[in-house]
Chains A and B, each alone.
Chain A
Amino acid sequence: MRVAPKEVETFRDDFTYSNSPEAIKRFPFPFPEDEYRYSVNMEPHTPKGGEGSAYEHFLDIDEHYLSEMAERKLVLDEMPHRCLAMEHMELACWDMLERLMTSLAQDYSDYFKLTIEGDQWTWENKLLNIHDTFTFGDSSTLPQSPLEYIGCQVQGDFALLDQRDGDLFLDAGMITCPADWSLAFDAGMSFKEWHGPVPMAHNEGIFERALKYLTAMQVGSPIRRLNWTLTVNARMDTSPETYHEWGHERTSVTPENVGEKVYLRVEMQVMDRMPRSNALMFIIRTYLISLEDLATNPEWARRMHRTMKTLPAPLIEYKGLSRYHSMVVDYLAQFDPAN
């Protein structure tokens, strides 16, 4: 790890979250071209960007690790339903636990250690002071369900998709930092159903192609894509469940504070086939960067301006940007010489 976890910062109330210069440099900037357009934009989840890049390892553990784990605990203490697994997903949960533990132990050996002796597994997480021995496959030997146990030790949200009848079903997950969707409501839905509210893409056949691709995925060939939205304040938990608590923040943006108050929110979505259950693990790893931090990179600022300027109206509405989108465009214009 090149960026060591720093002390706990907050994603609510006083919002002490911040990015170091190194974290800004490695931010997964999501716009590949100047004009915004929809695309499936999937690629193999293989290392790129070299040492210290957000793409260096299967899982990215960065300086916000402790903060995100503390935030997740706050969410789950208040709303335990944000983590759920249907009965038939038990095996998939163990698949996920294995995949995450083995990759953490391999890629971040300073922090994580896994010892396997038959079905007796010993797991050590030095960052969170966890040291447990359990029987693989036997949930009664863990302090929590396997999904919650490992999910609370890795940055990002997790969904486990059951594959049957050529479709994917949202049958398990731990969703504490979603970009405005509810696991409790969407649980059990098919791929197209849970993407129901997404505008435009259905007409363009994007979900048919994506589903075809995903259901054909093989073990050992994970893929990734980037998705994005904007968030007011560094709030991780922009869930519908708490929308009545954060919705009003969308009216707090002004031309004076837009640079520090509005964050580009990027999801690095990783999909990986599970070997025993044939489920798809879907990791949604969220990164937040304020516009003023983003603008320290002139190329990003220029490109983001052009992307925001050409964003179609249905997407502005769907992403919840209507109240402040024009202020974002105006703010970014100063970094675009074409203006």
Chain B
Amino acid sequence: MELESLSVVVSKPMYTAEISDGPCAYSLFICEQLNTAFSDLYEASLADKKDLIHSADLARIEGDLAALLANAPAATRVYLLGTEKYIWLVGQQLKALGVTEEQMEMLPPLSAERSVFCCHCYQVTDQVFTAPARCVGCGKLLAVTDHFAKAHGAYFGYQVNAEDATDIPASVELS
């Protein structure tokens, strides 16, 4: 067995730029930031009906989704673009409205940044690019793992030097 394959954490989401754009009755495009590629995808969609939500405001999106999906047909596809946390938190809202993960097309996140859940104080620290990372809630220095929770849109973090206070690993860039 190769060591590399041993370290793969299967809860870490994988994304592909290959978008399945088969015929469907309703296509919903949701993005945190609108870029040309996503705009083109929307324009090119051949769905009978389509909508585009461009907003970073999760509360607003939740309200919009309830209205837009109230009478959505079974053949609905939802396209999501944003930070990793954004697409999964919107994904949670969609699931609550009956949209399955198979109906969602999540595009690769716009940046390598991670959101990190602190297992000690339960706060989520956003815009983490390097590990270890300082928790915004309790200030502990957190190891950033690949264990991902869709419900939090965040990776699991724990105090990196809890066993030996002086043992702090060098900072590494996350991918």
CB neighbours (8 Å) of B79 from chain A are: none
Contact of B159 among A81, A188, A202, A247 (CB under 8 A): A247
Q: Is the CB of B9 within 8 A of A244?
A: no
Interface range for A: 20 to 34
CB neighbours (8 Å) of B3 from chain A are: 314
Q: Is the CB of A192 within 8 A of B150?
A: no
Q: B162 — nearest CB in chain A belongs to which residue?
A: A247
Instruction: Report the minimum CB–CB distance from B116 to chain A (whole Å).
Output: 11
A330 within 8 A of B: no
A203 within 8 A of B: yes
Q: Is the CB of B145 within 8 A of A197?
A: yes
A209 within 8 A of B: no
Q: Is the CB of B163 within 8 A of A203?
A: no
CB neighbours (8 Å) of B150 from chain A are: 188-189, 193
CB neighbours (8 Å) of A197 from chain B are: 9, 11, 145-147, 156
B8 within 8 A of A: yes
CB neighbours (8 Å) of B156 from chain A are: 182, 185, 197, 240
Given contacts A81-B122, A185-B117, contact A243 B162 (CB under 8 A): yes
A138 within 8 A of B: no
CB neighbours (8 Å) of A194 from chain B are: 11
Q: Is the CB of B9 within 8 A of A243?
A: no
Q: How far is the CA of A251 from the CA of B1 in the complex (A)?
A: 30
Contact of A200 among B1, B117, B162, B164 (CB under 8 A): B1
Q: Is the CB of A202 within 8 A of B8?
A: yes
B140 within 8 A of A: yes
Given contacts A189-B11, A196-B12, contact A248 B162 (CB under 8 A): yes
Q: How far is the CA of A251 from the CA of B163 in the complex (A)?
A: 7
A184 within 8 A of B: yes
**Residues B1-41 near A (CB distance < 8 A):** 1, 3, 5-12
Q: Is the CB of B149 within 8 A of A185?
A: yes
B contacts with A: majority SS: loop
B86 within 8 A of A: no
**Residues A168-207 near B (CB distance < 8 A):** 182, 184-189, 192-197, 199-200, 202-203
Q: Is the CB of B9 within 8 A of A251?
A: no
Q: How far is the CA of A169 from the CA of B119 in the complex (A)?
A: 20
Q: How far is the CA of A244 from the CA of B157 in the complex (A)?
A: 12
Q: Is the CB of B163 within 8 A of A323?
A: yes
Residues 97-121 of chain A: 1 if any B CB is under 8 Å from the residue's CB, otherwise 0? 0000000000000000000000000
CB neighbours (8 Å) of B151 from chain A are: 187-189
Q: How far is the CA of A195 from the CA of B11 in the complex (A)?
A: 8
Q: A200 — nearest CB in chain B belongs to which residue?
A: B6
A-B contact pairs, 30 of them (CB 8 A): A182-B119, A182-B156, A185-B147, A185-B156, A187-B151, A188-B149, A189-B11, A189-B149, A189-B150, A192-B10, A193-B10, A193-B148, A193-B149, A193-B150, A195-B10, A196-B148, A197-B9, A202-B8, A203-B1, A203-B5, A240-B119, A240-B120, A240-B158, A241-B120, A244-B159, A244-B162, A248-B162, A248-B163, A248-B165, A314-B6
Further 17 A-B residue pairs, CB within 8 A, beyond A197-B147, A244-B120: A182-B119, A184-B119, A185-B117, A185-B156, A188-B150, A188-B151, A193-B11, A193-B149, A196-B9, A196-B148, A197-B156, A200-B1, A200-B6, A203-B6, A242-B120, A243-B158, A243-B159
